[in-house]
Amino acid sequence: PLHSPTPSIKWFKKGGDLPMKRVKLESFNKTLRIINVSEEDSGDYMCMANNKIASIQHTISVQVKG
């Protein structure tokens, strides 16, 4: 059987930085969890996965309502 290389997964926040002191990465970085979320955490978050074969990214818009 042919196996694809395990992807490296990274998270970014567009136009800003992730609140690293409140961020937990889970499931081999597939899940981004923000603790004590606040309205300033609203924005576009981008997940980027890449390995030797390909690279893909997906943007998620998050809106936190107070």
Residue ranges of the chain with per-residue pLDDT less than 50: none
This prediction's pTM: 0.86
Question: So what's the pLDDT on residue 43?
Answer: 97
Closest to 5 (Cα-Cα) out of 47, 53, 49: 53
How far apart are the C-alpha atoms of 22 and 32, rounded to whole Å? 10
